[in-house]
Amino acid sequence: MPPSTTSLRVRYAETDQMGVAYYANYFIWCEIGRVELLRQLGFEYKQMEIDHAVHLPVVEATCRYKSPARYDDEIVIETRVTGLRTSVIRFGYSFLCTRPPELEPVLLAEAETVHVVVDREMQKCPLPEPYFSVIRAAMDE
């Protein structure tokens, strides 16, 4: 699956006294990438909740940090679906930044989130069509 890409700039409020992005912000950035990936596939997470009464809570999240993101860096979030089962979706993320003097993007971090599909009562349920088919087709590209 080709990655969905989303850009953002590290805000001052997202950094510590050294101007380095606080580690937990990467999980917020995962959500930004995930929502944009779904939008690029043709549907919005918010509408999925309204139309089909399903939610995708995070049940596992990991992040491996390679190089610090700093205040005012422009970050590119690459997001892809790395696993899909009837009621479970796994997303992978790469966080990249290009800053002088490097010509190639620097890998800042890699993350993964695992989500279980649940209904309004938080009971596990299958991911409704057409979401499942659209995501599966994108994975096969």
Mind telling me the catalytic residues? 16
The residue whose two tokens read 């969905």 is: 4
Contact by Cβ (8 Å): 78, 94? yes
Q: Shortest CA distance to 111 belongs to which of 33, 27, 28, 40?
A: 27
Count helices and strands in the chain by DSSP H and E runs: 3, 5
Q: DSSP code of 117? A: -
Closest listed residue to residue 54, CA positions, set 126, 112, 114, 113: 126
Q: What ranges make up the beta strands (E) of the chain?
A: 4-9, 58-65, 74-85, 88-97, 106-116
